[in-house]
Structure 1
């Protein structure tokens, strides 16, 4: 190991990242976030001898003084705690020094949630350069709203992951965990129409990909976000993102009477607590409707 300032930690951070990837199956986005935070820590803490609870608290204190968001503080705390647990198990530390590090509570800021009629209008208003792109974009909008899947899950879909006869999609979520999600007739019809013209795109670099970009490669997340944004501008629901469609799908399922655990399974949440935020959204919408409709509200 290197004896340069931060060198010992930097090498351990790379080993920790490999552990997160190969053993725990963490997503690349999570690993990048952990690595970035821990490298920032390594610039302050030269080696494991200086890796103490006080040093970690001072590091987080500097982040507070610099005006970092509560979400950033929570992420840094999670990175330090995960790294500390791993380092103790590997023998770098005599004890898990970050176990008592408190994670700041982060307020939930939900994106825009569509009304059900707004969602219906959005589905038919993809803004596309030609018919084949319109069919692709419409299928993506329908599938995002029908399943509540994440944009990364949509772009990762292969054609073989979709069963139109059963109207289900096999989705690979965070940590490479797979789940089977149902969708309705509208999404099935839109996907079938897209598959009819998919061959008109250039030969695919990834022939398995369900959705293709203009050049025939697997569509990327940025393109999907543009599709959602353009449709939202036409329908007057500006500021909508694919994540907003995910929140809308969850909210509408609950408003329709779906059980909370069913919504948890559909969305691929590891914890029911994550899904419970939608009960607050639905309650707020119910209160608004009540106040508009009841004569003595």
Structure 2
């Protein structure tokens, strides 16, 4: 085969002009399947589509018009090796492996290929570091550190911080809450998580006070369009996750915690629940984890905190 002298990046730009290709069309169908049938989150579908399009781009450097005949274990391994050479992280490598294995299995069922060629594809698991966790004291300081100067935003930001820490919900779940999701007679909120799975999560009186202050005294000042969204952005519609991340980061900086994000508040809520004696399955339900194994990482966090406290406090440590 005569080597082609184009770069991998240039081929990604060429793909749109090289005409229809069967793998590319299959990727579009696969993404639709993930969304409508499997119920994967938009972020997962977007990531898998990007990974698979990168594979097509790589195959395009090997042959002018890639087909499923080029969808071989050898080429998949070469693509992942190219990913390593490009300096991508282990997490990216693991996600690309997951994307292509899922796609390969789907392609067999659709009759695009005769055998699941990616089933034997090995990729390293993404390194699982212990999540960042605030101390209870630091968490309390963050709750009181809204950086907003106008009252409506101040009330909103305080409510957001309290809700994230009280419930451990994801930032996307918080942004998706509506007015009728909150039951203040029972201090609980209906949360719609991954795959549109719903759960009910309680919150305490401090959080309830902050939520009611925002709903009754701040929300109307930002409202500019008809919406059931509980939290609003500056344009009067549903708040964007990037705005929530900025709110948390600013509050963290005010409290002396740099680089704080919503997920750290989620981790902190889970760890503090376990530290307080909550059952692991209760925390699993609160966080909306489908697998208890995912929740168990917080037991490692609690154990690590116990070891550190023991080392500092016990005379024989």
TM-score class, shorter-chain normalisation, is: over 0.9
Partners of 1:69 and 1:126 in 2: CA distance: 34
Deviation at 1:289, TM superposition (A): 1.1
Matched, 1:133 2:153: yes
Deviation at 1:270, TM superposition (A): 1.6
Count matched residues: 295
> Which among 44, 67, 79 is matched to residue 30 of structure 1?
44
| Alpha carbons 1:38, 1:80 under 8 Å: kept | yes
Q: Secondary structure at the match of 2:303?
A: helix
Deviation at 1:202, TM superposition (A): 4.1
Deviation at 1:109, TM superposition (A): 2.9
Q: Secondary structure at the match of 1:15?
A: helix
Matched, 1:266 2:286: yes
| Alpha carbons 1:201, 1:215 under 8 Å: kept | no
> Which among 194, 202, 223 is matched to residue 243 of structure 2?
223
Q: Single out whichever of 194-203 and 168-177 deviates more from structure 2.
A: 194-203
Question: Could you tell me which residue of structure 1 aligns to residue 162 of structure 2?
Answer: 142
Deviation at 1:110, TM superposition (A): 4.0
Which whole-Å deviations, capped at 9, do the CAs of 1:132-180 have from their partners, x for residues lacking one? 2111111100000000011111011111111111111111111111111
Matched, 1:118 2:141: no
Q: Single out whichever of 84-93 and 57-66 deviates more from structure 2.
A: 57-66
Deviation at 1:201, TM superposition (A): 2.2
Deviation at 1:111, TM superposition (A): 4.2
Question: Could you tell me which residue of structure 2 aligns to residue 81 of structure 1?
Answer: 101
| Alpha carbons 2:178, 2:229 under 8 Å: kept | yes
Question: Could you tell me which residue of structure 2 aligns to residue 101 of structure 1?
Answer: 121
Matched, 1:197 2:192: no
| Alpha carbons 2:152, 2:222 under 8 Å: kept | no
- Pick closer, same or farther for the CA change 1:16–1:142 going to 2, 3 Å: same
| Alpha carbons 1:112, 1:239 under 8 Å: kept | no
Deviation at 1:210, TM superposition (A): 0.3
- Pick closer, same or farther for the CA change 1:202–1:117 going to 2, 3 Å: closer
- Pick closer, same or farther for the CA change 1:208–1:122 going to 2, 3 Å: same
The alignment's C-alpha RMSD in Å is: 1.6
Q: Secondary structure at the match of 1:171?
A: strand
User: Moved runs in structure 1, 4+ residues, more than 2 A?
Assistant: 109-112, 198-206
> Which among 244, 260, 268 is matched to residue 240 of structure 1?
260
Q: Secondary structure at the match of 1:98?
A: coil
- Pick closer, same or farther for the CA change 1:64–1:5 going to 2, 3 Å: farther
Deviation at 1:204, TM superposition (A): 3.8
Partners of 1:93 and 1:77 in 2: CA distance: 18
Question: Could you tell me which residue of structure 2 aligns to residue 15 of structure 1?
Answer: 29
> Which among 104, 109, 112 is matched to residue 92 of structure 1?
112
Q: Secondary structure at the match of 2:260?
A: coil
Structure 1 unaligned segments of length 5 or more: list them. none
Partners of 1:6 and 1:285 in 2: CA distance: 55
Deviation at 1:71, TM superposition (A): 0.3
Structure 2 unaligned segments of length 5 or more: list them. 1-15, 60-65
- Pick closer, same or farther for the CA change 1:86–1:189 going to 2, 3 Å: same
Partners of 1:6 and 1:109 in 2: CA distance: 42
Which whole-Å deviations, capped at 9, do the CAs of 1:8-54 have from their partners, x for residues lacking one? 10000001011111111111111110110101111233111111111
Partners of 2:262 and 2:106 in 1: CA distance: 35
- Pick closer, same or farther for the CA change 1:15–1:90 going to 2, 3 Å: same
